Amino acid sequence: MPPAERKPRPRSYDPARTRAALAAQTEVLRGAVHSLCTAADADALLARPTRLGEWRVRELVAHLGYVLDWVPKNLGADIPRGAEQLSLTGWVLGARSAATVIDQGVRAYAADAFGGSPQQVAAEFDRAADLLLRTLAEEHAPGLALPTRYGPILLSDYLVTRLLETVVHGDDLADALGTGIPPDRQALAATTRLLADSLAAAAPGGSVELRIPPFAVVQCVEGPRHTRGTPPNVVETAPLPWIRLATGRASWAELLDVAQLTASGERSDLSSLLPVMG
Protein backbone atom coordinates (compact mmCIF):
# COMPACT_ATOMS: atom_id res chain seq x y z
CA MET A 1 0.00 0.00 0.00
CA PRO A 2 1.45 3.41 -0.93
CA PRO A 3 2.18 5.77 1.94
CA ALA A 4 -0.49 8.32 2.78
CA GLU A 5 0.04 11.76 1.30
CA ARG A 6 1.24 14.24 3.88
CA LYS A 7 -0.34 17.67 3.83
CA PRO A 8 2.24 20.38 3.27
CA ARG A 9 2.83 22.65 6.25
CA PRO A 10 1.10 26.02 5.73
CA ARG A 11 3.56 28.66 4.58
CA SER A 12 4.14 31.54 6.99
CA TYR A 13 4.63 35.18 6.00
CA ASP A 14 6.57 37.65 8.11
CA PRO A 15 4.07 40.40 9.11
CA ALA A 16 6.64 43.20 8.95
CA ARG A 17 7.77 42.19 5.45
CA THR A 18 4.15 41.86 4.34
CA ARG A 19 3.34 45.38 5.53
CA ALA A 20 6.45 46.80 3.88
CA ALA A 21 5.65 45.03 0.59
CA LEU A 22 2.04 46.23 0.64
CA ALA A 23 3.17 49.81 1.32
CA ALA A 24 5.63 49.59 -1.59
CA GLN A 25 3.07 48.04 -3.94
CA THR A 26 0.55 50.72 -2.97
CA GLU A 27 3.03 53.38 -4.06
CA VAL A 28 3.66 51.52 -7.34
CA LEU A 29 -0.06 51.68 -8.04
CA ARG A 30 -0.34 55.30 -6.91
CA GLY A 31 2.33 56.23 -9.44
CA ALA A 32 0.51 54.37 -12.21
CA VAL A 33 -2.85 55.97 -11.38
CA HIS A 34 -1.33 59.47 -11.24
CA SER A 35 0.39 58.92 -14.58
CA LEU A 36 -2.91 57.76 -16.06
CA CYS A 37 -4.98 60.59 -14.62
CA THR A 38 -2.57 63.39 -15.63
CA ALA A 39 -2.24 62.20 -19.23
CA ALA A 40 -3.64 64.49 -21.94
CA ASP A 41 -6.08 61.73 -22.94
CA ALA A 42 -6.95 60.65 -19.38
CA ASP A 43 -10.70 60.49 -20.02
CA ALA A 44 -10.15 58.17 -22.99
CA LEU A 45 -7.74 56.02 -20.97
CA LEU A 46 -10.25 55.63 -18.15
CA ALA A 47 -12.81 54.47 -20.73
CA ARG A 48 -10.52 51.82 -22.22
CA PRO A 49 -11.65 48.18 -22.02
CA THR A 50 -9.78 45.68 -19.86
CA ARG A 51 -9.40 41.91 -19.97
CA LEU A 52 -11.92 41.71 -17.10
CA GLY A 53 -15.19 41.41 -18.97
CA GLU A 54 -17.16 44.65 -19.00
CA TRP A 55 -14.86 46.52 -16.64
CA ARG A 56 -13.26 49.62 -18.10
CA VAL A 57 -10.05 51.07 -16.70
CA ARG A 58 -12.20 53.28 -14.46
CA GLU A 59 -13.79 50.22 -12.80
CA LEU A 60 -10.38 48.56 -12.50
CA VAL A 61 -8.89 51.60 -10.74
CA ALA A 62 -11.98 51.73 -8.53
CA HIS A 63 -11.47 48.09 -7.59
CA LEU A 64 -7.86 48.79 -6.65
CA GLY A 65 -9.07 51.65 -4.47
CA TYR A 66 -11.63 49.36 -2.90
CA VAL A 67 -8.92 46.78 -2.17
CA LEU A 68 -6.88 49.43 -0.36
CA ASP A 69 -9.93 50.81 1.45
CA TRP A 70 -11.22 47.53 2.80
CA VAL A 71 -8.77 46.90 5.64
CA PRO A 72 -9.03 50.32 7.34
CA LYS A 73 -12.80 50.32 7.01
CA ASN A 74 -13.22 46.86 8.57
CA LEU A 75 -10.74 46.92 11.44
CA GLY A 76 -12.60 46.15 14.63
CA ALA A 77 -15.65 44.69 12.89
CA ASP A 78 -17.46 41.96 14.80
CA ILE A 79 -16.52 38.32 14.16
CA PRO A 80 -19.44 35.84 14.36
CA ARG A 81 -19.15 33.71 17.48
CA GLY A 82 -17.85 30.22 16.74
CA ALA A 83 -16.87 31.01 13.13
CA GLU A 84 -14.00 28.87 11.87
CA GLN A 85 -10.89 30.85 10.99
CA LEU A 86 -10.04 30.95 7.30
CA SER A 87 -6.62 30.00 5.96
CA LEU A 88 -4.86 31.90 3.22
CA THR A 89 -5.41 29.15 0.67
CA GLY A 90 -9.01 28.88 1.86
CA TRP A 91 -9.49 32.56 1.04
CA VAL A 92 -8.04 32.11 -2.47
CA LEU A 93 -10.15 29.06 -3.25
CA GLY A 94 -13.27 30.71 -1.83
CA ALA A 95 -12.77 33.77 -4.02
CA ARG A 96 -13.50 31.66 -7.12
CA SER A 97 -17.23 31.77 -6.35
CA ALA A 98 -17.55 35.50 -5.66
CA ALA A 99 -17.08 37.08 -9.10
CA THR A 100 -20.69 38.28 -9.46
CA VAL A 101 -20.82 39.84 -6.00
CA ILE A 102 -17.45 41.53 -6.51
CA ASP A 103 -18.54 42.91 -9.89
CA GLN A 104 -21.69 44.45 -8.41
CA GLY A 105 -19.77 46.00 -5.53
CA VAL A 106 -17.10 47.46 -7.78
CA ARG A 107 -19.64 49.01 -10.15
CA ALA A 108 -21.41 50.72 -7.25
CA TYR A 109 -18.10 51.87 -5.75
CA ALA A 110 -16.87 53.16 -9.12
CA ALA A 111 -20.04 55.13 -9.76
CA ASP A 112 -19.89 56.67 -6.30
CA ALA A 113 -16.26 57.29 -5.35
CA PHE A 114 -14.51 57.00 -8.72
CA GLY A 115 -17.12 58.41 -11.09
CA GLY A 116 -15.70 61.93 -11.42
CA SER A 117 -13.02 63.63 -13.47
CA PRO A 118 -9.52 62.14 -13.83
CA GLN A 119 -8.29 64.55 -11.16
CA GLN A 120 -11.02 63.36 -8.80
CA VAL A 121 -10.16 59.72 -9.54
CA ALA A 122 -6.52 60.37 -8.61
CA ALA A 123 -7.54 62.22 -5.45
CA GLU A 124 -9.86 59.39 -4.39
CA PHE A 125 -7.13 56.83 -4.99
CA ASP A 126 -4.76 58.97 -2.89
CA ARG A 127 -7.32 59.00 -0.07
CA ALA A 128 -7.62 55.20 -0.09
CA ALA A 129 -3.84 54.72 -0.37
CA ASP A 130 -3.06 57.15 2.45
CA LEU A 131 -5.66 55.55 4.72
CA LEU A 132 -4.14 52.11 4.18
CA LEU A 133 -0.58 53.37 4.73
CA ARG A 134 -1.60 54.91 8.06
CA THR A 135 -3.20 51.62 9.04
CA LEU A 136 -0.07 49.66 8.10
CA ALA A 137 2.03 51.94 10.32
CA GLU A 138 -0.14 51.21 13.38
CA GLU A 139 0.36 48.41 15.89
CA HIS A 140 -2.32 45.71 15.99
CA ALA A 141 -2.83 42.71 18.25
CA PRO A 142 -1.24 39.54 16.75
CA GLY A 143 -4.54 37.64 16.86
CA LEU A 144 -6.70 40.37 15.36
CA ALA A 145 -9.08 38.96 12.75
CA LEU A 146 -11.29 40.52 10.09
CA PRO A 147 -14.64 39.27 8.79
CA THR A 148 -14.81 38.37 5.09
CA ARG A 149 -17.57 36.86 2.96
CA TYR A 150 -15.70 33.55 3.17
CA GLY A 151 -15.15 33.62 6.95
CA PRO A 152 -12.91 35.41 9.48
CA ILE A 153 -9.21 35.65 8.72
CA LEU A 154 -6.23 36.97 10.67
CA LEU A 155 -5.28 40.53 9.73
CA SER A 156 -1.69 39.39 9.11
CA ASP A 157 -2.98 36.83 6.60
CA TYR A 158 -5.49 39.20 5.03
CA LEU A 159 -2.73 41.67 4.23
CA VAL A 160 -1.10 38.91 2.16
CA THR A 161 -4.32 38.67 0.13
CA ARG A 162 -4.04 42.43 -0.48
CA LEU A 163 -0.62 41.78 -2.00
CA LEU A 164 -2.21 39.24 -4.33
CA GLU A 165 -5.03 41.59 -5.32
CA THR A 166 -2.77 44.57 -5.94
CA VAL A 167 -0.24 42.56 -7.97
CA VAL A 168 -2.88 40.77 -10.08
CA HIS A 169 -4.91 43.89 -10.79
CA GLY A 170 -1.81 46.02 -11.25
CA ASP A 171 -0.91 43.62 -14.06
CA ASP A 172 -4.46 44.00 -15.43
CA LEU A 173 -3.97 47.77 -15.46
CA ALA A 174 -0.63 47.46 -17.25
CA ASP A 175 -2.26 45.24 -19.87
CA ALA A 176 -5.15 47.66 -20.43
CA LEU A 177 -2.86 50.68 -20.74
CA GLY A 178 -0.19 48.89 -22.77
CA THR A 179 2.52 49.99 -20.38
CA GLY A 180 4.84 48.46 -17.81
CA ILE A 181 3.91 48.60 -14.13
CA PRO A 182 6.57 46.42 -12.48
CA PRO A 183 5.28 45.12 -9.13
CA ASP A 184 7.24 45.32 -5.90
CA ARG A 185 9.50 42.23 -5.72
CA GLN A 186 8.30 41.05 -2.31
CA ALA A 187 4.67 41.55 -3.33
CA LEU A 188 5.32 39.50 -6.49
CA ALA A 189 7.00 36.76 -4.44
CA ALA A 190 4.13 36.50 -1.97
CA THR A 191 1.53 36.41 -4.75
CA THR A 192 3.43 33.69 -6.62
CA ARG A 193 3.75 31.54 -3.51
CA LEU A 194 0.16 31.96 -2.38
CA LEU A 195 -1.25 30.93 -5.75
CA ALA A 196 1.14 27.95 -5.95
CA ASP A 197 0.18 26.84 -2.43
CA SER A 198 -3.50 27.19 -3.34
CA LEU A 199 -3.06 24.86 -6.31
CA ALA A 200 -1.33 22.35 -4.01
CA ALA A 201 -4.22 22.67 -1.53
CA ALA A 202 -6.83 22.17 -4.27
CA ALA A 203 -4.99 19.17 -5.77
CA PRO A 204 -2.88 17.65 -2.96
CA GLY A 205 -0.31 15.04 -3.82
CA GLY A 206 3.27 14.55 -4.86
CA SER A 207 3.28 13.33 -8.43
CA VAL A 208 3.87 16.73 -10.12
CA GLU A 209 6.42 19.36 -9.20
CA LEU A 210 5.50 22.96 -10.04
CA ARG A 211 8.50 25.27 -10.23
CA ILE A 212 8.21 29.06 -10.38
CA PRO A 213 11.76 30.34 -9.94
CA PRO A 214 12.98 32.13 -8.00
CA PHE A 215 10.03 32.17 -5.62
CA ALA A 216 8.25 28.83 -5.30
CA VAL A 217 8.38 25.06 -5.72
CA VAL A 218 5.38 22.94 -4.72
CA GLN A 219 4.26 19.37 -5.28
CA CYS A 220 0.68 18.58 -6.20
CA VAL A 221 -1.69 16.00 -7.80
CA GLU A 222 -2.34 12.53 -6.42
CA GLY A 223 -0.18 9.70 -7.66
CA PRO A 224 3.29 8.24 -7.21
CA ARG A 225 5.33 10.52 -4.99
CA HIS A 226 8.75 11.66 -6.11
CA THR A 227 11.46 11.30 -3.47
CA ARG A 228 14.88 11.77 -5.13
CA GLY A 229 16.53 12.62 -8.43
CA THR A 230 14.78 14.43 -11.27
CA PRO A 231 10.97 14.35 -10.84
CA PRO A 232 9.14 12.52 -13.66
CA ASN A 233 6.49 15.25 -13.96
CA VAL A 234 7.67 18.85 -13.91
CA VAL A 235 5.93 22.13 -14.76
CA GLU A 236 7.97 25.32 -14.86
CA THR A 237 7.14 28.93 -15.62
CA ALA A 238 8.06 32.45 -14.48
CA PRO A 239 6.19 34.46 -11.81
CA LEU A 240 4.03 36.75 -13.95
CA PRO A 241 3.03 34.05 -16.48
CA TRP A 242 2.17 31.80 -13.52
CA ILE A 243 0.02 34.51 -11.92
CA ARG A 244 -1.82 35.08 -15.20
CA LEU A 245 -2.33 31.33 -15.62
CA ALA A 246 -3.49 30.79 -12.03
CA THR A 247 -6.01 33.64 -12.24
CA GLY A 248 -7.41 32.89 -15.70
CA ARG A 249 -5.70 35.75 -17.51
CA ALA A 250 -3.81 33.29 -19.73
CA SER A 251 -4.49 29.71 -20.77
CA TRP A 252 -2.24 26.67 -20.55
CA ALA A 253 -2.15 26.35 -24.35
CA GLU A 254 -1.31 30.05 -24.85
CA LEU A 255 1.69 29.89 -22.54
CA LEU A 256 2.95 26.69 -24.13
CA ASP A 257 2.66 28.30 -27.57
CA VAL A 258 4.83 31.27 -26.60
CA ALA A 259 7.34 29.16 -24.63
CA GLN A 260 6.46 30.78 -21.30
CA LEU A 261 5.60 27.37 -19.83
CA THR A 262 7.26 23.97 -19.98
CA ALA A 263 5.63 20.71 -18.92
CA SER A 264 7.30 17.29 -19.01
CA GLY A 265 5.90 13.93 -17.98
CA GLU A 266 2.64 12.14 -18.70
CA ARG A 267 0.91 13.63 -15.62
CA SER A 268 2.20 17.19 -16.04
CA ASP A 269 -0.82 18.74 -17.77
CA LEU A 270 -2.42 20.87 -15.03
CA SER A 271 -4.86 22.68 -17.30
CA SER A 272 -7.91 20.98 -15.78
CA LEU A 273 -6.96 22.38 -12.34
CA LEU A 274 -6.70 25.98 -13.54
CA PRO A 275 -7.46 28.72 -12.89
CA VAL A 276 -6.92 28.50 -9.14
CA MET A 277 -8.61 31.87 -8.63
CA GLY A 278 -10.90 33.48 -11.17
CATH number of the domain enclosing 50: 1.20.120.450
The residue among 7 and 269 whose pLDDT is bigger is 269
The per-residue pLDDT of the chain, averaged, comes to 92
State residue 232's pLDDT score: 85
- Residue 100 and residue 218 share a domain: no
Residue 145 has φ and ψ, to the nearest 5°, of -120, 160
Is the domain of 104 the same as that of 58?
A: yes
On whether both 37 and 163 belong to a single domain, the answer is: yes
* pLDDT tier, 110 (very low <50, low <70, confident <90, very high otherwise): confident
CATH number at residue 250: 3.30.1050.40
Residue 3 lies in a domain: no
Q: Quick check: is 126 in a domain?
A: yes
* 73 part of a folded domain: yes
Element (H or E) spanning 234, and its range?
strand 234-237
Same domain, 53 and 155: yes
Q: Both 96 and 165 in a single domain?
A: yes
The residue with greater pLDDT, 223 or 99, is: 223
3-class secondary structure, 220:
strand
Q: How far is CA 270 from CA 117, 224, 226, 260, in A?
A: 44, 16, 17, 15
Q: Would you state the pLDDT for residue 6?
A: 56
Asked if residue 19 belongs to a domain, the reply is yes
| Domain end position, chosen among 139, 161, 188 | 188
Q: Would residue 151 count as lying in a domain?
A: yes
Residue 210 shares a structural domain with residue 266:
yes
pLDDT surpasses 50 at 2: no
At 112, is the pLDDT very low, low, confident or very high (cuts 50, 70, 90)? confident
* Range(s) of the domain holding residue 225: 203-273
How far apart (Å, rounded) are the C-alpha atoms in residues 92 and 18?
17
Residues 177 and 226 in one domain: no
Q: Pseudo-torsion of CA 115, 116, 120, 124, nearest 10°? A: -20
* Last residue of one domain, picked from the residues 188, 214, 231: 188
Tens of pLDDT, residues 143-171: 899 998 888 999 999 999 999 999 999 99
How much helix, strand and coil, in percent to the nearest 5, is found in the chain? 55, 10, 40
State the pTM of this model: 0.93
Q: What is the pLDDT of residues 205-248, one digit of tens each?
A: 999 999 999 999 999 999 876 666 677 899 999 999 999 999 99
Of the given ranges (52-66, 87-101, 173-187), which has the lowest mean pLDDT?
87-101
Does 240 lie in the same domain as 172?
no
Q: Please give the pLDDT value at position 226.
A: 61
Domain identity same for 78 and 178:
yes
Do 86 and 137 sit in the same domain of this protein? yes
